[in-house]
A and B are shown apart, each in its own frame.
Chain A
Amino acid sequence: MAKRPTSDTGLDSKRRQFLKLAGASVAVGGFGLNVGLAHAGAGTGEAGDVLDVAIIGAGLAGLTAARDLQLAGSQSFVVLEARDRVGGRTLNFDMGNGHVSEVGGQWIGPGQTAVEDLARQLGVGTFPSFYEGNTVILGGDGRLEVDLKGTFGTDMTVAGKLSELSRDVPSGAPWNSPKAAELDKLSVGDWLAQQNIKPEDQPGWDASMTLSGGVTPAKMGLLHFLSMINSASCDYEKLDSIKDSAQGTRFVGGSQILSTRMAGQLGDKVRLQCPVRKIADWDREIVTLHTDQGLVRARKVIVAIHPALCNQVQFDPPLPQARAALQCAWPAHSPARKTAMVYSRPFWRDKGLNGHIIMLNGPIIWAWDNSPPNGEVGVINAFISNANLPSDPATAKRILTELYARAWGDEALQPVAYHDQDWGRDDPWSITCVSAIPPGFWTTHGEALRQACGNLIWSGTETADIWAGYMDGAVRAGHQSALQALNALRRV
């Protein structure tokens, strides 16, 4: 439970910081002067008290928002998290001896400056993804070793056309593209069908689209995919490659460390195992949240969860039609499954292999060397085609080690640990990973994405202006929602 400030002096100091940040945000928001604080340092969330801000979700977005409020001097907020841990869709698998392998979101890349800055502020280091050496391609009885030089071997002529098209599709608001109506009628598949893609290149497009977009090309909206490329400086290669791309850099200590560090600084402001079941009176001055740990009352509520998860919350009164329709239609059919196989050392590197596997028509979509920075132990992570690998972890482990042995030799048959993370079934608090936005979605629902409803502020990576759906987008969305809350709490 949150505590009251211990002294007025401390409170005044916090209030001054809060005012400073709120003042800065006014310049951005264009509000008038002569403002004062509404409620900083007021209620604590104890029974009967009213908080300034309640944040739903202790993922990167929610915790970043909370951190900003704290840095601004506010004491009057709480973060409500359904799970028994923080980090949302980032998760570290602890291998012991201080080593971890990420089994959720894990990479950052060029242009992802918000999450990079956050890491620096939290004292979290980065290191490059490992890709030097030959990738192994498996298909049927076949096998090929090839040096892809830190790429996925994409046909850059086709990728270049997509990059060019993305210039007209703003990352944060694809529905505002001058070509929105035309592009949103098409799936990426419709567009690729016109590009004479050779049969040997088709599996690569299927795999890339599945990993980056969450579905194969026929159900991926072209307008949405172009908005993703737009985030990557209008350069397909910066979105969907490894070297100098969005899969190029990892965090020392695993990506979840960003959230655990922030939560550590926030202390008892973060309440775990506290799912919000109902949000009442969101259109009135005081919003009431019904949680598994009782009622929480707040003036502003930052909703930092996936839009599809909002469907699990009851809103009273019901949300406006446009927002309700957006949530209801938000795609949630990309429940990624990620595995981590641990070896005593990265033995494949001795053979000139980079530990990467691209598999055609099998359980592995892509496997890669996910060892710690200096290769102290060997880790192979893999994105799994869920229904093409048995769900029983022991059987899955055996099948994967046999495939790894085909790729790199019999040493692969002797792993020391295995973790199997199926995000669709692990708990009810993710449902999906990335958002496979279909054709027609943005031109129908886009305007409702960020439109505040009463005292609800929509956050989460899906609302980000740049890199929506990525860790960087989550951090941007967190900053944005904290600014919105601070501005809204000012007394004009």
Chain B
Amino acid sequence: MKKWMLLGFITVVAGLLAVYGRDLLDLYRLMTHISTTNETAVADGGQWPRLTDACIGCHGAQGNSLHQGYPSLAGQPTPYLAAQLRHFASGERANPNMGPLAMSLSEADIQLLSQFFARHSAVENGSFKPDPALQEKGKKLVASGGCAACHGEGLMGRDQFPRLAGQGHDYLLTQLNAFALGRRKDPSGAMTAIVATLSVDDRKALAHYLAALAPVAK
């Protein structure tokens, strides 16, 4: 290429950037965002439209919810997630939002969804600000109650037992209260027995500690 041609080209580009630079850059970034997120989503969950996208609104991108009331599914054990979906469908676990949705899922759907969320990494529940006193009390209750025996090291969950570390505070408290009131039952009855020994303040303390507990990499 002749040097003047190159110079001319650079001049034109520089001129365009001076006039439209920010807008062009913004547009370029938007197009890049669309293509990269699309590639990632296809690699992660298959071709669009994806069944897993139906869960994003309440459970967050890749199962990490920023909302304290809607639970994070990322990193939950596959058997736990599959069991909950089946329990929602049968009514064994009563939930007005999840019941009808779970009823509309096939066993293949349940497997796909459970495996999808289980393989994603849980992230820290950064938007929850714990009360330090409650957090400290919760830590002691977790240690004395031996929660890790079922819920695994770091309370990251295993088999039929859910990850508690970094879960939404409001969700945790709602579940503890549901066990206490007999509205939720676990197959072994262990949670019902444990929660029966906890006061209202104990349950609050547990929710504060667990919600703020950083998930560890599995």
CB neighbours (8 Å) of A391 from chain B are: 66-69, 127, 168, 170
Interface of chain B residues 19 through 57 with chain A (CB within 8 A) = 23, 26-38, 47-51, 53-54, 56-57
Chain-A contact segment, one of B9-17, B76-84, B92-100, B155-163: B92-100
Contact B66 A389, beta carbon cutoff 8 Å: yes
Residues of B within 8 A of A438 (CB): 104
Report yes or no: B30 in contact with A144, Cβ–Cβ below 8 A: yes
A387 and B98 form a contact (CB under 8 A) = no
Q: Using a CB-CB cutoff of 8 Å, which residues 202-222 of chain A contact chain B?
A: 202-203, 205-206, 210, 215-219
Contact B38 A142 (CB under 8 A): no
A193 close to B49 (CB less than 8 A):
yes
- Mostly, the B contact residues are helix
B30 close to A137 (CB less than 8 A): yes
Specify which chain A residues have a CB less than 8 angstroms from the CB of B27 in the assembled complex: 142-144
The 5 A-B residue pairs with the shortest CB-CB distance, nearest first, are A142-B30, A140-B33, A189-B49, A142-B29, A390-B127
Identify B65's interface contact among A137, A187, A387, A424, CB under 8 A.
Answer: A387
Residue-wise, chain B 138-155 has the 8 Å CB interface mask toward A (1 for contact) of: 000000000000000000
Which positions in A face B, CB cutoff 8 Å? 137-145, 187-189, 192-193, 197, 199-200, 202-203, 205-206, 210, 215-219, 308, 311-312, 328-333, 335, 360-361, 363, 385-392, 395, 422, 424-425, 431-432, 438-441
A-B contact pairs, 28 of them (CB 8 A): A137-B30, A142-B28, A142-B33, A143-B26, A143-B27, A145-B23, A193-B49, A199-B38, A200-B34, A202-B38, A202-B49, A215-B54, A216-B50, A216-B56, A328-B103, A332-B100, A333-B97, A335-B58, A361-B61, A386-B58, A387-B67, A388-B56, A388-B61, A389-B66, A391-B127, A392-B68, A432-B97, A441-B104
The docked-state distance in angstroms from the alpha carbon of A386 to that of B48 is 21
Contact partner of B57 (CB less than 8 A), chosen from A139, A203, A387, A395, is: A387
Known: A328-B100, A391-B67, A391-B68. A144 touches B26 (CB 8 A): yes
What's the minimum C-beta distance from A156 to chain B, rounded to whole angstroms? 19
**A residues near B34, Cβ cutoff 8 Å:** 139, 142, 199-200, 203, 360
- List the B residue with the shortest CB-CB distance to A441: B104
B130 in the interface (beta carbon within 8 A): no
Q: In the bound complex, what is the Cα–Cα distance between A331 and B104 (angstroms)?
A: 9
Bound together, the chains give a CA A333 to CA B98 distance in angstroms of 6
**Are A192 and B96 in contact, CB atoms less than 8 angstroms apart?**
no
* B149-192 interface (Cβ within 8 A of A): 168, 170
Distance, CA A439 to CA B54, complexed state (A): 14
Given contacts A205-B49, A206-B53, A216-B53, contact A388 B30 (CB under 8 A): no
Residues of chain B within 8 A of A332, CB atoms compared: 96-97, 99-101
Closest to B174 in A: A425
Number of interface residues of B (CB under 8 A): 44
Q: Which residues of A contact B96 (CB under 8 A)?
A: 308, 311-312, 332, 431
B48 contacts A140, C-beta separation under 8 Å:
no
- A399 to B193: give the CA distance in the assembly, Å: 41
Min Cβ gap A199→B in Å is 4
Residue of B nearest to A440 (CB): B104
Contact A210 B29 (CB under 8 A): no
Q: Given A142-B32, A202-B38, A217-B49, does the pair A333, B61 have CB atoms closer than 8 Å?
A: no
Contacts of A202 in B (CB 8 A): 38, 48-49
**Chain A nearest Cβ from B218, distance in angstroms:** 22
Q: Is the CB of B35 within 8 A of A218?
A: no
Q: Which residue from A139, A331, A390, A432 sits with its C-beta under 8 Å from B66?
A: A390
Question: Which residue among A210, A219, A329, A424 has the maximum number of chain B CB atoms within 10 Å of its CB?
Answer: A219
Q: A192 near B58 (CB under 8 angstroms)?
A: no
Residues of B within 8 Å of A143, CB to CB, are 26-27, 29-30
Q: Would you give the shortest CB distance from A217 to chain B, in whole angstroms? A: 4
Report if A388-B37 is in contact (Cβ < 8 Å); known contacts: A143-B26, A218-B49, A335-B58.
no
Once bound together, how far apart are the Cα atoms of A215 and B33, in whole Å?
23
- Chain A contacts of B30 at CB under 8 A? 137-140, 142-144, 360
B176 to chain A, nearest CB (A): 17
Bound complex: CA A392 to CA B169 (Å)? 11
C-alpha spacing A385/B60, complex, angstroms: 8
- Contact yes or no, A425 B29, CB < 8 A: no
Q: Given A140-B30, A189-B49, are A395 and B65 neighbors across the interface (CB < 8 Å)? A: no
Q: A141-B33, A200-B31, A360-B37 are in contact. List 9 more A-B contacts (CB 8 A).
A: A140-B33, A140-B36, A141-B29, A145-B23, A206-B53, A218-B50, A332-B96, A333-B98, A441-B104
Of all chain A residues, which has the CB nearest B129? A392
